[in-house]
Each structure stands twice: as structure tokens, then as C-alpha cells.
Structure 1
Amino acid sequence: MTTVHRPSWLTPPPSDGPRHTLHIVSGKGGTGKTTIAGSLACALATDGRRVLLCEVEGRDAISQLFNTDSLRNRGERRLIKTPDGGTVYGLAMDPENALMEYLETFYHLGLAGKALDRFGVVDFATSIAPGLQDVLLTGKVYEVARRLIKGLPNAYDAVVLDAPPTGRIAKFLNVHDAVADLAKVGPIRGQADSINAVLHSEHTVVHLVTLLEDMPITETVEAIDDLTPTKIELGAVIANMITPTSLDQDQLALAAEHRLPIAVPGLSDVANKALADEFAVDAQRMLAEHQRRLRLQQLDRPLVQVDLDPFGIEVESLFGIAATLQDQLADEVRA
């Protein structure tokens, strides 16, 4: 394990803000990690707080979630005002723009950098050094998160990153190893060390989104195993799209075995039987979800449970999930 040097400028997060500055949200594809990331940003945006929601996969997922124009090449844009009085902003990152910013910041290659882009040098650089792409993307995340630490006027109270999926998250955050073969000294190495310091500080936490299904849970367990040696703080496991029910386990077991009487007035015996059959299938699924929930509880991580919205996800739905996150992550949000 590489020793992480803590620079003198790295002060703790403000006591009157969220517990962490940088919230990294990962999950297997299809678990709704972008929805949870967007909802978490809304949950953190209270009482005048400014929260930035970032994406790095080039999917335009944030703009689709908030039903707005594409964020590509548009910088930091206001997305929405929350009912709790905060504001969420969005930023879509890509390696090319991140490299252009890097060249301008450290080498003052404004127009020359654009010329390199036209000649395909950017694509060439990121293709021969794949680790450079992750360093550039995490570097941009680091830059916006560091504004609060530095007390800059354009700072955000929190930054939420819709990160790569669980199968790649540990490698994505392993900036030190990514840079080891790229640079021993110089600006790239210096920036990587600063990024590493923030990622390993009390400013950063990783939340993992899953479903109560076998494959997503397995990937969540593997991600925890991969992230634990990095010493980056692990936060909550968020079980998303849970089937809500008012029945207890005994009642679900009876329904699954067709032993829970169902007789809807006005329906024929055939229709009632069809309803009972359908309910039995749903009960079996909910019993299976319960067993998988027990597996997640054994991970010894805070477990957040978000119910399935049968009407789908719209902007207003995000506020409902945000309220759930505020309730179950109260110490994290500090609303």
C-alpha cells in the first residue's frame, strides 16, 4: 500500500455542510446509479447549497435524467432548484476537454492545444496511455471538489460523481498506479499526488448502488473487495427499485404457496384465481428480495433502501428519492 502524503492545504470539510465533499456513486449497469446520483445531488442541495453533479462516461445520462439539453461541451450548467432551497448543477466530462484544460493550466497551450486536438494527438495520447484518460477525468473532478477546500468563490458545497460501473470503479480511482508508468515527476505526477490525497481524505466517500438481484449484489461484493485495499472510504450500499409491500414474511409465504385467500367482490372465480396466481409470483419475488437484503446486511455497510416507483422516473420522482436519502443518510447529508 502506497503512503499518501497529505498536503497542508487539505483541510477538513466544513462542519455546517455535508459530511463529505465528493460523493462517488457506482453500480452495475442497469441498477439506476445515475438516478441515485441525481437524487443524492438533490438531497444534498438544501438551504442555499450548490451541488455539482458530474458524469464521465459520455452517455448524456444527466441531461436525459433532468430532461434538459445535452451538457456536452457546455461546462457547468444549472439543472434545477430543489424544493429544499438548493441548486443542482451539471457537468459532462470527457478526456479531450480535460486534456485541453490540463495543457492550458500547466503549459499555457491554449491555441496550440486546440491544434493538437485537430491533428488527433489527443486521441493518440489517450489510446497509447489508457491510464491517462482516468487521470484526466478524476483530475477534473478533483478540481471542482478542491474549490471548497480552497475557499474559492465558485465552490460547490458538494460534488456528486456518476462514476464508472462497479467492475471498473477501483481501477478508475487508482490514480497512483495509473500514473506510475506515465510520469515519475512533473505536473502530471504532481496533480496525481494531489488527486490521490483528496480521494484518500475525509472529503471523499464511495456509495454503491445495487438491486436485490444476484448479479448486481455479487458485483457490489466484488467492488467492496476491490476498494477496501485502496483505503478510500466506503459509504452506503443503496438497494434500489425494491418492491414495496405492506405484508410481513409469513403473509408473503402464504401468498407464494397460494394459501392466502383472495376474493375480490365482483370478480369471477376464474378472475380471482388468475389474480391469486399473479400475486403468488409477486410474493415469491419479494421473498427472494428479502433473502438478498439479508445478504447485503452482512456486508457491514449502511444499507439504504429505495422503493420502486411504478410510474417511472421523472424529475419530480428524484425529489421523492432525495427525501428517502435525506432520511436514511441524515448524518451524511446534514440537511
Structure 2
Amino acid sequence: MPKPMTPDAIRTAPKVLLHDHLDGGLRPQTVIDLARESGYQDLPSTDADELATWFRDAADSGSLELYLETFAHTCGVMQDEAALIRVAAECAEDLAADGVVYAEVRYAPELFQERGLSLDRVVTAVQEGFRQGEARAAEAGHRIRIGTLLCAMRQNARSLEIAELAVRYRDAGVVGFDIAGPEAGYPPTRNLDAFEYLRQQNAHFTIHAGEAFGLPSIWEAIQHCGAERLGHGVRITDDIKVSDDGSVQLGRLANYVRDRRIPLEMCPTSNLQTGAAPSIAEHPIGLLTRLRFRVTVNTDNRLMSHCTMTSEFAALVEAFGYDWADLQWFTVNAMKSAFIGFDERLALINDVIKPGYAALMA
């Protein structure tokens, strides 16, 4: 008999995470510790439980712009190498303890230069932290592989510089590039020079698109910039018509995204907070999964959204009645879409993910 789909059982299932922000996943106590050590005095609370609640409530604004303001505090305490190493190590440990076997964690190096760190020192510190965290997780019996995505902030003018940084460190654990920040008013095409450079270098990249802005953002990301994956992409449903009789008609962009198997990095709880969906049960992930888009499930910002991969999966199970086969489908989708090499992806699917779910379904 399959194991009951309780949170404890889901936590043991092997998971793959493609969309998780380093500065959105700190432990509340770590934020407090780092603030004290660095002299940062703007925290709304120095009690860990109260601070965790503040982050969640502040993020529950229904606005992407207001949601992004919460990062002033996490970035504010991540301005030296020791802090970056600690945050990255704890990130790897926390994800591994949640059953994540492969994760791509992203961050914007330009946000951590307020105290004079060079971009290269930011990257080497984060990579050192991930390696330490992977080692500590392995000692605790949880194996995880972390790949890093470097983000450029779309409202700034440093995309090419960050793209060059990502290529410079692609043999040191950086597996790809992304642009993040507010979508409205900052279309992906503002960063065309970076994407052209990445394509010339045979480098991987994803683009935040179709979260706070609609189909034009998705269309530009794919057709002008050449995005391999879409960060969020929930607004692709604007190009899908569901009739009263239940029949579904896909527009040309939606058909293209599905036919080309362009991965959607969907973050259900985060999307509720930024107003992209009214509830988990009404989240576009249900329709997109039914239509067999390349859907993946992600956390986005574990601190702000007060979530884990386990809680995201559990919420989908409750809302849509998904079973272990569905969770395996999401996981294999994500692993197929990862920016590491084919051999590594195949080994994780065949040697870790499928055996792990087989044991749960037996």
C-alpha cells in the first residue's frame, strides 16, 4: 500500500527545487544574529518568532513591489563574507533536511556590495557556504547538490556585467543566470546584450516573467531573449480560454510554451502573496498541470512565504488531490529542466528520484 501523504512522509520524498532566492530564505534567528554582529539596527523585531511573523505578514501585501521591500532587511545583514558563507551553508542544510536532493539557489551579487565587497568575493563566499552546507548535510545523512544562479536586477544597468560573472564562475558551481526585480516598466528586452552574450557563451539562463506582468513579458522573455525557463510564468493562463463546458483552447503563445516544453518555475504560496493567484485551489498550477505544461513546484522565498518544498507539495495535495505519482512528475520535470549536465540529471532521476518515489508508492 502507498504511504499516506502526510507532511512527514512528503518530507522524505526526494525533491528538486529550481526557484529559491538565497536572500529570501534566511532563518529568523540568523537575521537577528547577523544584524547584531554587523550593527544593522532597522529590524522590526529581535525576537525570532515575532520576526518570522513580521516577514510573512509584510509579504502578504498582494503587491510584488511591496513584497520586494522585505528584502531590505535580509540583504542589509548579508554585506560581509562571513555572513554570506553562513547564510549559504544554512540554506543547503535546511533544503537537504526538507528532502531536497538538487536545488538551484539564486541571488543578485550586486545587492551585497554596500560594504565594499567585490562581485567576485561575493560569489566565492556564497560558493564556499554552499560547499560547507552540502558537507554538513551529508554528515547528517542528507545528500544535496546545489547549483547557483546569479541574478541581475532588471531595474539597474548591470546585466551584462553579471552575465559575464556567471560565465566566469560556471566551472565553480554557478550553473546559470537570471534577471529579477519589478517586472512592470522593466521588460526583459532592456537586457538583450546580456542574453546575447550568454547565448554566445553557451550559458544557461532563466527569466522572471509572467508574474506581476502579463503575456508581453513572457513573449519577450522567450522570443526576444531566448529564455530556457520562465520564472513563475503564471500569467500564461491569460492565453488559455476555458469554456463553461470545460473545454480548453490554447492561444498561440500558450501552445508554443507547452509544445516546446518550456519549464514553468511555479511558486504557489508566493504567488498568493503577490496577488498572482487568489488561493492555492484557484492557482493556475492546477490547470497547467492538467494540460501537461512543463510545470515545476518551487518555494521562491522560504522566509517571506513561510514555506518549504514539503509545505508547497502538501498544499497542492490538499487542493488538487495529487498522489505520489503526481509529485514524482513535478520532481522529474524539475530535474529534466535543471541547468546541470545531462549525465548528472539522468543519474539523479534514475538513482535517487525514481527509487525514492517507488518506495513511497509500494
TM-score (norm 2): 0.34
Higher relative contact order (CA 8 A, sep 6+): 1
TM-score (norm 1): 0.36
